[in-house]
């Protein structure tokens, strides 16, 4: 199994402490952890001693004794230590002198160095969201592995409530991809259902630890011997064009950093006439509302409007556009969906969902807290959600859909 895990640290160099502090919040809200430096040599040494820690290096331009361009030239001499992304944040962006200096030293058009004006915060945040990957609603590793296994046993989240038998049966010799397989539960279900046939199941999972545990779960079990798991990012699927007869992507789209890139990959690796099946929900978290608690409605609106990194509250609304851009025909001949709303209207299922949400909130604290303005504010929000869930008058649902799309 490949093991190229993405780290989410940024090394930020600026000679002004205040700028470092301001941008620390922006980086952190976008899912990065930050090492700040005022001295270029300190920054260089930290990067050189643990380059695998960083996925982004950001530098100011105008600094003494070494400007941003000199700093990046020094890193370039070491092939940037293979750190994926580099950016200059400067008040000089747009000036002729600055542009010329950059062009003389770097290939700006290929994003060797990305240039941002310090005041264009919106553009910076959108860049950070694009390049960072942080799974927002759960930890990696054991905790997440068992959370996913447990979730698949809960009302509203059981695969058997979602899949019809016809979705699960494959023909002799076919290849099927479970994209973003997590603990591998869907791969295993499909392998069991198709046990008498020679069907090849593949799972791809970006988290190294989750992929490792998913692999451990199937090792040495005969009926799972036709499952191959790979740790990789769906943005660059390590399979040739037209490798698969079917792709299943369950509860992954809502977490993707670059859904368009992934959908383009799905189109590439599907055979002609192959089928993509997507299962996802609109409104997770934000649909918990009650007319008796208008203050919660306000907080939910705030969460929906602000969003959280790598989480799409409205994936079912946005999916057709990704598919169409990738080359799929989103007309009724090629694409269809069935609604499988998740409804909690009895005490027992509400209690189970409340416990599930508690776990989600706990795991996502560092990401949700900034949305509400701090940990105390987040606690108030969570308490209110719990109060609404405890109230017997509350009914709520998530709009889950099972999409099927054929590659034309």
Which span (49-57, 188-196, 227-235, 360-368) binds ligand SAM, by CB under 6 A? Answer: 227-235
Residue 21 token pair: 């502090």
Q: Distance of CA 371 to CAs 72, 144, 288, 364, 381, Å?
A: 33, 23, 17, 11, 11
| DSSP calls for 13-31 | E-S-HHHHHHHHHHHHHTT
In angstroms, the CA 108 to CA 90 distance is 15
C-alpha dihedral sign at 34, 39, 43, 46: negative
Nearer to ligand SAM, 57 or 262 (CB): 262
Nearer to ligand SAM, 114 or 185 (CB): 185
Q: Is residue 214 involved in binding ligand SAM (CB under 6 A)? A: no
Which helix (H) or strand (E) segment holds residue 275: the answer is strand 270-282
Nearer to ligand SAM, 30 or 233 (CB): 233
Shortest Å distance, C-beta 22 to ligand SAM: 30
Binding ligand SAM (rule: CB under 6 A), the pick from 20, 75, 102, 252 is: 252
Nearer to ligand SAM, 131 or 262 (CB): 262
Which helix (H) or strand (E) segment holds residue 338: the answer is strand 335-339
Paired with 249 in beta bridges are: 278
Binding ligand SAM (rule: CB under 6 A), the pick from 63, 83, 114, 148 is: 148
Q: How far is CA 239 from the centre of its chain?
A: 21
Q: Which of 12, 288, 352 is nearest to 151 (CA)?
A: 352
Which residues lie closer than 8 Å to 254 by C-beta, 6 or more apart?
280, 281, 284, 311, 312, 313, 315
Q: Which of 224, 160, 239 is nearest to 2 (CA)?
A: 239
Binding ligand SAM (rule: CB under 6 A), the pick from 234, 299, 388, 389 is: 234
Shortest Å distance, C-beta 132 to ligand SAM: 12
Which span (37-45, 109-117, 245-253, 362-370) binds ligand SAM, by CB under 6 A? Answer: 245-253
Residues numbered 125 to 144 that lie near ligand SAM (CB under 6 A) are 135
- Residues contacting ligand SAM: total by CB under 6 A: 21
Q: Is residue 235 involved in binding ligand SAM (CB under 6 A)? A: yes
Q: Distance of CA 119 to CAs 17, 22, 124, 177, Å?
A: 16, 11, 9, 43
In angstroms, the CA 230 to CA 237 distance is 10
Residues numbered 181 to 210 that lie near ligand SAM (CB under 6 A) are 181-182, 185-186, 204-207, 210
Nearer to ligand SAM, 115 or 229 (CB): 229
Binding ligand SAM (rule: CB under 6 A), the pick from 98, 201, 251, 293 is: 251
Which span (72-80, 114-122, 168-176, 247-255) binds ligand SAM, by CB under 6 A? Answer: 247-255
Binding ligand SAM (rule: CB under 6 A), the pick from 180, 274, 283, 370 is: 180
Paired with 54 in beta bridges are: 9
| Positions that interact with ligand SAM (CB under 6 A) | 135, 148, 180-182, 185-186, 204-207, 210, 233-235, 250-252, 255-256, 262
């Amino acid at each position: 199994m490949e093991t190229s895990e993405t780290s989410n640290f940024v090394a930020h160099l600026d000679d002004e402490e205040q700028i470092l502090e301001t941008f620390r919040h922006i980086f952190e809200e976008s899912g990065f952890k930050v090492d700040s430096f005022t001295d270029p040599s300190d920054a260089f040494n930290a990067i050189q001693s643990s380059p695998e820690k960083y996925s982004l290096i950001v530098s100011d331009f105008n600094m003494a004794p070494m400007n941003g361009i000199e700093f990046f030239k020094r890193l370039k001499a070491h092939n940037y230590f293979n750190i994926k992304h580099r950016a200059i944040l400067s008040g000089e962006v747009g000036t002729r002198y600055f542009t010329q200096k950059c062009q003389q030293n770097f290939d700006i058009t290929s994003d060797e160095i990305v240039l941002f004006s310090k005041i264009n915060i919106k553009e910076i945040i959108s860049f950070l969201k694009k390049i960072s990957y942080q799974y927002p609603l759960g930890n990696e590793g054991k905790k997440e592995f068992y959370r996913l296994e447990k979730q698949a046993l809960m009302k509203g989240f059981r695969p058997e409530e979602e899949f019809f038998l016809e979705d699960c049966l494959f023909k002799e010799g076919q290849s099927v991809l479970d994209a973003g397989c997590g603990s591998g539960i869907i791969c295993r279900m499909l392998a069991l259902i198709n046990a008498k046939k020679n069907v090849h199941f593949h799972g791809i999972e970006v988290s190294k630890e989750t992929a490792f545990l998913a692999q451990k779960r199937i090792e040495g079990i005969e009926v799972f011997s036709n499952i191959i798991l790979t740790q990789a990012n769906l943005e660059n699927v390590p399979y040739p064009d037209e490798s698969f007869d079917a792709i299943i992507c369950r509860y992954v789209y809502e977490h993707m950093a670059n859904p368009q890139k992934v959908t383009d990959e799905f189109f590439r690796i599907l055979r002609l006439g192959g089928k993509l099946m997507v299962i996802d929900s609109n409104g997770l978290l934000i649909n918990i509302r009650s007319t008796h608690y208008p203050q919660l409605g306000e907080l939910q609106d705030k969460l929906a409007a602000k969003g959280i990194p790598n989480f799409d509250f409205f994936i079912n609304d946005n999916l057709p556009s990704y598919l169409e851009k990738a080359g799929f025909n989103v007309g009724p001949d090629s694409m269809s969906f069935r609604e499988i709303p998740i409804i909690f209207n009895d005490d027992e299922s509400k209690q189970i969902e409340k416990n599930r949400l508690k776990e989600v909130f706990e795991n996502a604290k560092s990401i949700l807290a900034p949305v509400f303005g701090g940990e105390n504010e987040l606690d108030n929000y969570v308490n209110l959600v719990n109060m609404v869930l405890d109230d017997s008058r509350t009914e709520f649902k998530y709009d889950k859909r099972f999409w099927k799309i054929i590659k034309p």
